[in-house]
Amino acid sequence: MSELRFAQAINRALSESMTEDDTVMLMGEDIAEAGGPFGVTRGLLAKFGADRVRDTPISEMAMSNAAVGAALSGVKPVLEIMFMDFMTFAMDALVNQAAKARFMFGGQSSVPMVVRTPHGGGISAGPQHSQCLEAWFAHVPGLKVVCPSNPADAYGLLKAAIADPDPVVFVENKSLYALKGEVPETPFRIPIGQASVVRQGQDVTVVTYGGMVSRALQAAEMLAKEGVFIEVIDLRSIQPWDEATVLASLSKTHRLLIAHEAVEAFGVGAEIAARMSDVGFDELDAPIMRVAAPFVPVPFAPGLEKQYQPSADKIVEAVHRLMS
């Protein structure tokens, strides 16, 4: 075991993947010489050279489509989009090209590419640098979406994403970059689509992912003091998501809450709730609840953003309602 920060764990996954497979290459804004805005790609230019670690101009539309063209031509690009808000510029490449190529070309080829991008607020970055837009991508057949909550998962999921033959959107909650955690030294992959039960409990199932996992665990501590025990499921993968693990937990607790930092309306939680009210209807003792962001852009002022963000307190409150 070695202790790594979240950003370092991603760096290790990139570095190992590039060593194992010389068709893996990185591209993005300021990732090479500057080492990335969050320092994630530091040192990789020196290690792998400018052909495989490329600083791109600020041209998200061209670079994301270029990743598709490269992936169809024998290279495995790992693209960094500096903030998830800028993924709007990469929509054509991901939605119309990467997601469709395998299907519409009759399975001739897959599109082995990864797009890494940070989402999430809490640092007063304002409405255009804080959004959690993962549900958009989870809605598109052909894309996979993952969102790790800790350094070991970030490492293992990124190794799996780079090895995956299909396009993967790899979402990094920016509040986690400095988080430290143990990462086993032997290389490993975490299969995409596998959730992790991070805390056992019998009263309420709380399904969450990314930056919200630690808040759900805080809520679990607070609730445990009252004698209420929640089971916390870290989804890790959003598309595909681990329906079996969620259903198994619901069958035990009979109450379900989904928590995420993204806007509640039409979000990941809505999909899980709809699905569980179908396949898990007989298990439910209470309505399914969600704790997520309100239908408002992410505000700048620290006070406003604090009110905006879903918190451990809000999870506790929702669990109280579910138990009442």
Partner 1 sequence: MAKHAYNKPELLALYRKMVTIRLVELRLGRLFADGEVPGFIHLSIGQEAVATAVGLLLDNMDTVASTHRGHGHALAKGVGLDDFFYELMAKEEGICKGRGGSMHVANLSIGMLGANAIVGASTPIAMGSAMAHQIRKTGGVAVAFFGDGAMAEGVLHESLNMASLWKLPLLFVCENNGWAEFSPTHKQFVAKLADLSAAFNIPYAKVNGNDVLAVSDAARLALTDIRSGKGPYVLECTTHRWRGHYEGDPQKYRPTHELEQLGDHDPVKFFEDVMRKKGVSDEEMESVRVELESAIELSVERARAGTSPDWHSAQSDVYTAAEGGQHV
Chain positions contacting partner 1, by CB under 8 A? 23, 25, 51-52, 54, 56-57, 59, 61-75, 77, 92-93, 96-97, 101-110, 141-142, 144, 164-166, 192-193, 240
Residues forming beta bridges with residue 181, ordered by sequence position: 4
Q: Which of 29, 119, 129, 305 is catalytic?
A: 129
Q: What b/e sequence results for 243-255 when a residue is b if at least 16 CB atoms lie within 10 Å of its CB, and e otherwise?
A: eebbbbbbeebbb
Cβ neighbourhood burial of 295 (10 Å; 0-12, 13-18, 19+): exposed
- Report in angstroms how near the CB of residue 28 gets to partner 1 at its nearest: 13
* CB atoms closer than 10 angstroms to residue 89: 16
Q: Is there a contact between 120 and 174 (Cβ–Cβ < 8 Å)?
A: yes
The type of residue at 146 is: V
Question: Does the annotation mark 254 as catalytic?
Answer: no
- Report in angstroms how near the CB of residue 148 gets to partner 1 at its nearest: 18
Considering the complex, state which of residue 144 and residue 260 has its C-beta at the smaller distance from partner 1. Answer: 144
Considering the complex, state which of residue 25 and residue 262 has its C-beta at the smaller distance from partner 1. Answer: 25
Considering the complex, state which of residue 69 and residue 302 has its C-beta at the smaller distance from partner 1. Answer: 69
- Report in angstroms how near the CB of residue 301 gets to partner 1 at its nearest: 33
- Per-residue CA distances from 230 to 211, 215, 226 (Å): 18, 13, 11
- Report in angstroms how near the CB of residue 18 gets to partner 1 at its nearest: 12
Determine the distance from the C-alpha atom of residue 213 to the mean position of all C-alpha atoms in its chain, rounded to a whole number: 11
Considering the complex, state which of residue 168 and residue 233 has its C-beta at the smaller distance from partner 1. Answer: 168
Question: Which residue in 224, 236, 178 sits closest to 5, CA to CA?
Answer: 178
- Write out the catalytic residue numbers: 60, 129
